[in-house]
Chains A and B, each alone.
Chain A
Amino acid sequence: MVKESSYSDHIEQLLEQWRMRPGIVGRLSAVNHKDIGRRYIFSGFMFFLLAGIAALLMRIQLMYPENTFLNADQYNRLFTTHGMTMMFLFAVPIMLGVGIYFVPLMVGARDVAFPKLNAFGYYLYLFSGAILWISLFIGAGPDGGWFAYPPLTATRYTPSYGMDVYTALVNGTEVSSLIAATEIIITFFKLRAPGMAINRIPLFVWAMLVTSVMVIFAMPSVMVATTELMLDRGISTNFFNPNLGGNPLLWQHLFWFFGHPEVYIIFVPALGMVSEILATFSRRATVGYPLLVISLVAIGVFSFGLWVHHMFTTGLPNLSLSVFTVASMVISIPSGIQIFSALATLWHGKLNMKTPLFYVLGFIFTFVIGGITGVMVASVPFDSQVHDSYFVVAHLHYVLIGGAVFPLLGAMYYWFPKLSGRMMSERLGRWNFWLTIIGFNVAFFPMHISGLNGMPRRVYTYLPGMGWDTLNFISTVGALILAAGVFLFVLNVITSLRRGERAPDNPWGGGTLEWAASSPPQPYNFARLPVVSSRYPLWDAPSAAGAYTFAENTSRRETLGTSTLDADPEMRVYLPGSSITPFLTAAASLLLLISLMFNLYAVIASSILILVMLAVWHWPRGKDRSMEWIKSGPPEALPVSITVTGKKPPVYYGALLFVTIEAVEFLAFIASYFYLRSATNDWPPGDLEFPRLILPTLATLVMIISILPTYLGDQAIKKNNQRGLVINLILTVMLEITFLILMIYHMGSLSYRWEDNAYATLYWVLTLTHMIFAGIMVLENLYILIQSLLGFYNAERHWGVEVDGLSSYFVAVAWVAIYFTVFLSPYLIQ
């Protein structure tokens, strides 16, 4: 009896710690992954509906030749907004949102690794999306296509604010995607339930890992591209200006290096959903787990090797094009593995024919067509005919709707009980399924033929008598049927939320851990954590679902940290509770995004505001200053992540990922340099002087030397030498400031400015970008210095210093790369 009552006390304490606070401020302060994940999914669907309405308007316009329902300007803004919304605001965020909600549940964790950051990412996404749609409604929506090819999107040809909205929005959403990806990666590696070794991780979680890693490498590329476009438009740099040494194809390379993986970032999570649904509704393990994991990873890797297949008609040499043909076709092998594994699972399964499984069948049927046309468009000669025609419109919708939206809808039916505690209607589900799949095929299959008949994409109207009239009419009818199907889905969600049958914990008899939590899960997911000894723990050992008694401090939020490969318990990860700071910081970021479109001073002001918010965010308060409180817990408890020794806490890996993202961004800038440089033998162009080396070389030496005190400070605090840390931090800051002074002096002495030509643009932008990073580094070190003076760090609590040191090292290494590129390469490469 005593044990029982202590258990219910335990539950009560957990609930008190984890529940959402009441009121609007309480809601905005929520950081729990389920609240954030649910909001991602909801917002994603809202954007999906909006973009769908945009698509319907376009289809009505194209119903007849020479239709005047929309004019050219409206049509162009609508198709741009449709593409941007579907790619940036629906597909990627909703997939990541499903991951944010379900990955912790499926690996038996209580939350993601960095809940406050997670909340910040969501609000940033929401605000960016709001900017786009508000701008559309006030008539300033972007009109240069979601691919935004310069020079069309340069100020000269598109002077309106539309493309400024584009550059701001893309940067906002991509930062939020990077944050969500970081959460998922760290949760995957560090927060799994005891015993969930790397070969027992659910396939959906694997898929989310692959997607997140792809996000880390793909998004920085488009952020650099849009930043360059923003600078071209805002301060007349010349990255893409063909008249002054820039090159429009640079944009295409950077954009598609992101844009092609983007498709797989959307598709890979869907494959994971398919694997989960198949296992549950075939009542058996998905066939070929190792093959499936390898194929997911292979898709992730290959997808970075085929961006040029969007550029087959730009006149690049045939040899390189053929290489990309092979790369594009080879990706059909891992896709084939997925399809045939699905078929084998169905064949050997005991099928429970429910709506989620119907959607998987719809996925197989539709995606195979998209995959086949995908191999076709990978062929350079054939692509020269169908590129930028309606054939490609058909292909991409077969891949994205068939390959991603159908599995997503299936997953919504599958996981709805876990999201809401209720079941969706099976009867409406069937109607919904048949209408969407029939409507989809009626809408998009004819587009293959209109494309082969010569109809180009992105035309707001067409002349009659070209052989396109009937096909377009059929497509529009199909689109309306599809819309009816989507409407039934919305109806089903609304009615099921209100009157749906109450869901038991495991309504479908699933085998993965999310079904061990209640429907909907308690805010803390699991009171006792599960122990995992197989891939489908609930099938093999249902009793193990609550087998691990987590010795925790229930007066705050904690989750279990485990080892990367075998998931052995390592530490208690101390998680932050509710906080309004992420919301406020996102609001400050919104100000920055808006300022970027209008005014440099506003940019500076809002940047300062963000820095202030970040300091407030990280400033340790109240009990967090007390080492006793930090370390407190039951006697048998594991060490707390903040003071763990011998193992690295999640925050360290998070910082490593952050540095990786920055590194990819610098690489994209450096790639821009050498791409533009390779187009000419006249470098620096005309009679521009070669880079003067004395000050930059001196600055480089200072920067390299700054590594030393950073390292020494880190070592000092590990030995509890607080004075040593302070002295070394002061040295680091002084060296970094010296670096900045030297470089500011050097840049001030230049005889040319960024507007002059592409060389000058690269010189200024690469150097200044790094100087901004170095400036932020100074502020970061000053913050650590203040905390050190306040005695915050000691031998036990030193990870903050180490993480700060990682950034310092990175800034030094990045500068060496910039120094080589901007200052030495003009001498070395003649």
Chain B
Amino acid sequence: MNWLKRYRYAGAAFFLSSLLSACTAAPISPANMPSMLEPQGPAAARLAELWWLMFGLGALIFLLVVALMFAALSRGRRAGADSAADSRGGDEGRKWVIRGGILLPMIVIAVTFGYSIYTLAVVENAPGDPAVHINVTGRRWWWEVNYPVEGITTANEIHIPVGKPVQINLESADVIHSFWVPELHGKMDLVPTRLNSIIIQADQPGVYRGQCAEFCGLQHAHMGFLVIAESNEAYEEWKSAQVQPAQSPADELAADGQDVFVSQGCVFCHTVRGLEDKPVDRSAIDLGPDLTHLASRQTIAGASLTANTGNLAGWVSDAQHVKPGALMPNTYINAQDLQALLAYLMSLR
């Protein structure tokens, strides 16, 4: 009911509050514009071609119809409306209807359907076997990323070698999500009961933003991720760093932070490989992201915040403000413990 009270102030108040809140929005954009019109991979390139073809055809038809409409208008207006209505000459214009209403759509359908099927075949049958297999699990509201061969688990960040087809296997742990990196490929849903997959490939090194495209609840809007395409060497380097367990805390502050991490119960949802002396059973809970190499990632909170100490402090202490409804609870600890915890987390490189 509280929020309804705000609606009492119509008109100007709406604008004012919108304007004000716009000023407070901090720019956080860890990647380029995720546009399908600027494709960065072979699949997306084919899809963009298909778009431009259909756009051209569509524009022609639209111009034709609008031109005919104005021509008919100027002719029909000159005829003068005063004379008696004519109910007999029903079929003078039938040729038009058959040509424009049947033949024209058939031609358009033939072209678009043919090109669609061709595009589908090219996009689906990528040449060569995928070089890398990655399992991605959709969770409310983040992405678990798993490299089964290497045994790497990370979150919201998919590293791929540039120029190679990569197979992404898609599964959902809860509700339906949809995996979409517009610059690389179309989307594919993550449906409980199904194992879907999609093959992506990036032609240039770069960071490509992806986002969940199927409404999945409260924080659907903040369920982003990054695909980071890098040279083969950089990719190998990243992998070899990621397979390592977490390093022991290097300084005292971080060591204190590790104690806070354990004593505050963070470990119930978050794995830090190398920290646990005995395995924790997390099968009955909604998992949080694996934090083993948290500080190596570019973003936190479903790619909605740049990963730095300040943002991390805000996220840890007041997650419900940053991302209301997220399954990460607010953490109530004193400033000293928070400093230590942050030092520990930022040491997880």
| Interchain CB contact under 8 A, B76 and A350 | yes
B266 within 8 A of A: no
A246 to B106, CA, bound (A): 41
Query: Can you report 27 residue pairs joining A to B where beta carbons are below 8 Å apart?
Result: A66-B21, A67-B21, A242-B193, A248-B191, A249-B194, A285-B87, A285-B89, A288-B97, A322-B120, A326-B113, A332-B105, A336-B101, A340-B100, A346-B69, A347-B71, A347-B72, A350-B80, A350-B82, A376-B58, A379-B116, A453-B34, A453-B36, A454-B33, A454-B211, A457-B215, A465-B33, A540-B87
Contact present for A454 and B192 (CB under 8 Å): no
CA A611 to CA B178, docked complex, whole Å: 46
| Inter-subunit contact A464/B58 (CB<8 Å) | no
In this complex, the interface size class of chain B, counting residues with CB under 8 Å from chain A, is 35 or more
Q: Does A42 contact B (CB under 8 A)?
A: no
**Bound-state Cα–Cα, A381 to B42, Å:** 13
Mark the stretch among A68-76, A122-130, A705-713 that contacts chain B.
A68-76
Q: Is there an interface contact between B76 and A288, defined as CB atoms closer than 8 Å?
A: no
Complex-state Cα separation, A369 to B69, whole angstroms: 14
Tell me if B221 and A461 are in contact (CB < 8 A). Answer: yes
Beta-carbon contacts of B23-66 to A below 8 Å, as 1s and 0s?
A: 01111110001111100000010110011001000100110011
A residues near B26, Cβ cutoff 8 Å = 66
Interface of chain B residues 167 through 220 with chain A (CB within 8 A): 174-176, 178, 180, 182-183, 185-189, 191-194, 196, 209, 211-220
Q: Is the CB of A379 within 8 A of B187?
A: no
> Nearest chain B CB to A223's CB is how many angstroms away?
22
Whether, in the assembled complex, A325 has its beta carbon less than 8 Å from a beta carbon of chain B, the answer is yes
Which 10 pairs between the two chains have the least Cβ-Cβ distance? A384-B186, A344-B93, A465-B29, A454-B34, A337-B101, A66-B25, A467-B33, A340-B100, A459-B221, A64-B22
Chain B residues proximal to chain A, CB less than 8 Å: 1, 3-4, 7, 14-15, 17-19, 21-22, 24-29, 33-37, 44, 46-47, 50-51, 54, 58, 61-62, 65-66, 68-69, 71-73, 75-77, 79-94, 96-102, 104-106, 108-109, 112-113, 116-117, 119-120, 123-124, 140, 174-176, 178, 180, 182-183, 185-189, 191-194, 196, 209, 211-221, 224, 304, 324-325
In-complex Cβ contact of A248 among B75, B80, B176, B209 (8 A): B176
A387 touching B213, Cβ below 8 Å: yes
Partner of B112, one of A340, A379, A388: A379
Contact B120 A291 (CB under 8 A): no
Which residues does chain A contribute within 8 Å of B116, judged by CB atoms? 322, 325, 379-382
Residues of A within 8 A of B77 (CB): 351, 353
A380 to B72, CA, bound (A): 36
Nearest A residue to B224 via CB reads A463
> A295 to chain B: which residues have CB within 8 Å?
101
**Pairwise interchain contact A338-B76, C-beta atoms closer than 8 A:** no
Bound CA–CA A540/B196 (angstroms) = 63
B17 surroundings in chain A (CB, below 8 A): 69
Contact indicator A389/B213 (Cβ below 8 Å): yes
Asked if B81 contacts A351 (CB within 8 A), the reply is yes
Known: A69-B17, A329-B109, A333-B101. A388 touches B178 (CB 8 A): yes
A629 at the A/B interface (Cβ < 8 Å)? no
Assess A284 versus B85: contact at CB under 8 Å? Given A64-B25, A329-B112, A456-B213.
yes
Provide the bound-state CA to CA distance between A346 and B194, in Å.
52
Known contacts: A347-B93, A385-B186. The answer to whether A330 contacts B109 by CB under 8 A is yes
Chain B residue nearest to A287 in the complex (CB): B93
Nearest to B195 among chain A residues (CB) is: A315
Q: Once the chains are docked, how many angstroms separate the CA of A65 from the CA of B283?
A: 37
Nearest to A372 among chain B residues (CB) is B58
Q: Are A453 and B33 in contact (CB under 8 A)?
A: yes
What's the nearest-Cβ distance from chain B to residue A36, in Å? 31
Are the C-beta atoms of B18 and A152 separated by less than 8 Å?
no
- Residues of B contacting A457 in the complex (Cβ-Cβ under 8 angstroms): 213, 215
Known A72-B219, A284-B87; judge A344-B81 contact (CB<8 A): no
Cβ B324 vs Cβ A368 within 8 A: no
Q: Which of A545-592 contact B (CB under 8 A)?
A: none
Chain B nearest CB, measured from A329 CB (Å): 4
CB proximity of B311 to chain A, nearest CB, Å: 13
A751 within 8 A of B: no
Of the candidates B19, B69, B186, B213, the one whose C-beta lies within 8 Å of that of A343 is B69
Q: Report yes or no: A288 in contact with B91, Cβ–Cβ below 8 A.
A: yes
